[in-house]
Amino acid sequence: MKMRNSIAIALVLIFGIFLFRIFEYHHTSTSLNNSATYYNTNAPAEVGTANVVTAIVVTYRGLDTLGEVTVLFLTALIIGYILKQKNREKSVVNYTSEILITAVNILIPASIILGVYVFINGHLTPGGGFQGGAIIATGIVLLILSNPSKLMNMKVLHFIESISGFTYILIGLAGLLFAGGFLDNRILPLGNIGNLLSAGAIPIIYSLIGLKVGTEISSILASINETKENTIKP
Residue among 143 and 199 whose Cβ is closer to other proteins:
199
Which residue, among 63, 203, 221, has the nearest Cα to 142 in the 3D structure? 221
Residue among 148 and 174 whose Cβ is closer to other proteins:
148
Minimum CB separation from other proteins for residue 178, in Å? Answer: 25
Residue among 103 and 199 whose Cβ is closer to other proteins:
199
Minimum CB separation from other proteins for residue 71, in Å? Answer: 5
Is the distance from CB of 182 to CB of 175 less than 8 angstroms? yes
Three-state DSSP class for residue 8: helix
Residue among 186 and 212 whose Cβ is closer to other proteins:
212
Kindly give, in sequence order, each residue whose CB lies less than 8 Å from that of residue 95, ignoring residues fewer than 6 positions away. Answer: none
Query: What is the C-alpha separation between 178 and 201, in angstroms, rounded?
Result: 12
Residue among 88 and 174 whose Cβ is closer to other proteins:
88
Minimum CB separation from other proteins for residue 56, in Å? Answer: 4
Residue among 82 and 177 whose Cβ is closer to other proteins:
82
Gap between the terminal Cα atoms of the chain: 22
Minimum CB separation from other proteins for residue 51, in Å? Answer: 5
Minimum CB separation from other proteins for residue 106, in Å? Answer: 27
Interacting residues toward other proteins by CB under 8 A: 5, 7-8, 11-12, 15-16, 19-20, 22-23, 26, 28-33, 35-37, 39-41, 43-45, 50-53, 56-57, 61, 64-65, 68, 71-72, 74-75, 78-79, 82-83, 124-126, 128, 130, 193-194, 213, 217, 220, 224, 227, 229-230, 232-234
Query: What is the C-alpha separation between 47 and 181, in angstroms, rounded?
Result: 13
Is the distance from CB of 67 to CB of 173 less than 8 angstroms? no
Minimum CB separation from other proteins for residue 132, in Å? Answer: 12
Whole-angstrom CA distances from 8 to 13, 16, 20, 21, 185 are 8, 12, 18, 20, 49
Query: What is the C-alpha separation between 123 and 195, in angstroms, rounded?
Result: 9
